[in-house]
């Protein structure tokens, strides 16, 4: 059991038969009245975010979310296949679980699989990946004063915006959370 006064970002709790992750919390002590904890809770299954307040003495069971590393093997139709590198067990997940998280992940890269009570609800790609540009238009010399960008396709098929000096064959570092170009690799 965890009390509301012990809430921290990233802690998972069970409330009303649903598992929530604490995205944001704030301990509030008004001049008049009792203290309370204001939180933003994210439902880990469907991703919905709700704002709720709690008394600091309220207690909730702490939910155990397992995060395990798997290796991405291949995509077959709509199914993505992953392998546990310890037991060599393979699992296949559909687009409902994977979502857009695989657009920057190449085969044989490591990802994290999130599960609660044995039910897989999400995957986490690496935060940063290095991919090769396979298609882009040539940039023009001298047009760099404004920080202009152009569209480029990387080896996984995803499209990102890159600076004008990037060319086909260049390796670029990408933030998978935002899909933004960070630097040349």
Share of the chain above pLDDT 70, in %: 96
Can you give the pLDDT at residue 145?
Answer: 59
Mean pLDDT of 36-44: 89
pLDDT in tens, 42-71: 888 777 889 999 998 899 998 888 888 999
Mean pLDDT of 85-111: 87
pLDDT in tens, 103-128: 888 888 999 988 888 788 788 888 89
Mean pLDDT of 90-107: 85
| Cβ–Cβ under 8 Å, residues 169 and 184 | no
Mean pLDDT, the chain, whole residue set: 86
Cα dihedral sign for 172, 78, 47, 9? negative
Structural domains of the chain, with CATH: 2-60 (2.30.30.30), 65-124 (2.40.50.140), 128-184 (2.40.50.140)
Confidence at 39, pLDDT banded by 50, 70, 90: very high
Can you give the pLDDT at residue 47?
Answer: 75
Q: Give the full edge-to-edge strand order of the sheet including 110-116.
A: 90-93, 79-84, 65-76, 110-116, 119-124
Give a three-class secondary structure readout of the chain: CEEHHHCCCCCEEEECCEEEEEEEEEEECCCCCCCEEEEEEEECCCCCEEEEEECCCCEECECCEEEEEEEEEEEECCEEEEEECCCCCEEEECHHHHCCCCCCCCCCCEEEEEEECCEEEEEECCCEEEEEEEEECCCCCCCCCCCCEEEEEECCCCEEEEECCCCCCCEEEEECCCCEEEEEC
Can you give the pLDDT at residue 51?
Answer: 92
pTM for this model (two decimals): 0.69
169, two tokens = 């064959």
Can you give the pLDDT at residue 10?
Answer: 79
Can you give the pLDDT at residue 94?
Answer: 85
Determine the Cα–Cα distance for residues 30 and 71; give it in Å rounded to an integer.
49
pLDDT in tens, 137-148: 886 665 555 677
Can you give the pLDDT at residue 143?
Answer: 56
Determine the Cα–Cα distance for residues 119 and 108; give it in Å rounded to an integer.
23
Can you give the pLDDT at residue 142?
Answer: 59
């Amino acid at each position: 059991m965890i009390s509301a006064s012990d809430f921290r970002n990233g802690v998972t709790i069970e409330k009303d038969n649903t598992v929530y992750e604490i995205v944001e919390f704030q301990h509030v002590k008004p001049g008049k009245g009792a203290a309370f904890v204001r939180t933003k809770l994210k439902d880990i299954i469907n991703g919905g975010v709700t704002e709720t307040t709690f008394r600091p003495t309220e207690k909730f069971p702490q939910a155990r979310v397992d995060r395990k590393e798997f290796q991405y093997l291949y995509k077959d139709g709509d199914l993505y296949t992953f392998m546990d590198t310890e037991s060599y067990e393979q699992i296949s997940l559909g687009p409902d679980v994977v979502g857009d998280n695989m657009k920057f992940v190449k085969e044989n890269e490591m990802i994290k699989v999130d599960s609660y009570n044995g039910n897989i609800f999400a995957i986490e790609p690496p935060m940063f990946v290095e991919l090769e540009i396979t298609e882009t238009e040539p940039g023009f010399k001298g047009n760099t004063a404004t920080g202009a960008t152009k569209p480029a396709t990387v080896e996984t098929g995803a499209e990102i915006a890159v600076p004008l000096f990037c060319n086909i064959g260049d390796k670029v570092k990408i933030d998978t959370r935002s899909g933004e170009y960070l630097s040349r690799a």
